[in-house]
């Protein structure tokens, strides 16, 4: 599952649109588009449109788009955005791509809009969407925004949502299922506990002990994962 971010910046008589996409194999695509001045909400909607056009053109499915402008999302959802195809929202849902609102400070596409120098980007042809799909039962949970914000609040590490999501999915696969009730499950990874349900990863917390049996499971799974990934071309 990829995570994407869009943003827009109005500077003088020009508008800068930007988007960033982070993929399963750690590949990143970045684009910056310069156009004539637009109204703020129109610019935000156009940034989403440019990203969406990119995704649909390259048939990139299964992901989430993070934006910091609720009005732009509503324009697209209600098909009111000027210059935005009325079928865009429906087209994105058809390829399993959703939207989530995030605070601007966590929107990494903002850097693209305001960066005057070149920022490296991977070519689409080099991206391996099957990096983890060949591994049996490998999880692909989304991280809720509340979980991510709690994580950011308790650490100095500045991982993006995608990197945090990737790290937690790996820990779920490496860890041990220790509790299950209804559609909620809790996995143990050393002293870390990760709760998931149909919506994705909904809670992460630490305990003050490490179970010896869990330690053994994690170590065995780490060796197994290392061997499995050796056979996957990146």
14-22/2-11 β-pairing: antiparallel
pLDDT band at residue 144, thresholds of 50, 70 and 90?
Answer: confident
Whether the Cβ atoms of residue 36 and residue 3 lie closer than 8 Å to each other: no
pLDDT of 158 above 70: no
pLDDT in the model for residue 232: 58
For residue range 172-212, what is the model confidence (pLDDT) as tens digits? Answer: 999 999 999 999 999 999 999 999 998 899 999 999 998 88
pLDDT in the model for residue 227: 84
pLDDT in the model for residue 115: 79
Whether the Cβ atoms of residue 3 and residue 21 lie closer than 8 Å to each other: yes
Mean pLDDT of the chain: 87
**Which two three-digit tokens encode residue 187?**
């996995």
CA angle, residues 184, 147, 102, in degrees to nearest 5: 125
Return the closest-CA partner of residue 141 out of 225, 27, 64: 64
Long-range contacts of 214-219 (CB under 8 A, 24+ apart): 214/175, 214/176, 214/178, 214/188, 214/189, 214/190, 215/190, 217/175, 217/176, 218/174, 218/175, 218/176, 218/189, 218/190
For residue range 48-81, what is the model confidence (pLDDT) as tens digits? Answer: 989 999 999 999 999 999 999 888 877 777 765 5
**Which two three-digit tokens encode residue 173?**
């696969």
pLDDT band at residue 111, thresholds of 50, 70 and 90?
Answer: confident
């Amino acid at each position: 599952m990829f995570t994407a971010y869009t943003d827009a910046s109005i500077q003088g008589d020009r508008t800068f649109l930007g988007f960033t996409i982070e993929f399963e194999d750690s590949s990143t695509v970045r684009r910056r588009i310069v156009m004539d001045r637009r109204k703020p909400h129109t610019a935000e909607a156009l940034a989403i449109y440019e990203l969406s056009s990119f995704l649909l053109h390259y048939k990139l499915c299964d992901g989430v788009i993070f934006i910091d402008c609720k009005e732009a999302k509503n324009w697209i959802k209600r098909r009111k955005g000027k210059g935005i195809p009325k079928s865009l929202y429906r087209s994105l849902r058809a390829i399993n791509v959703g939207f989530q609102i995030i605070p601007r400070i966590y929107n990494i596409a903002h850097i693209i809009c305001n960066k005057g120098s070149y920022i490296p980007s991977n070519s689409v042809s080099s991206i391996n969407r099957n990096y983890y799909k060949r591994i049996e039962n490998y999880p692909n949970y989304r991280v809720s925004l509340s979980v991510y914000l709690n994580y950011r609040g308790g650490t100095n590490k500045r991982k993006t949502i995608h990197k945090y999501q990737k790290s937690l999915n790996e820990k779920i696969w490496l860890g041990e299922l220790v509790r299950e009730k209804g559609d909620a499950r809790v996995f143990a990874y050393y002293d870390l506990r990760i709760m998931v349900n149909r919506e994705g990863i909904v809670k992460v917390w630490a305990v003050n002990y490490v179970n010896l049996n869990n330690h053994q499971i994690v170590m065995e799974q780490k060796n197994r994962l290392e061997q499995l990934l050796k056979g996957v071309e990146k």
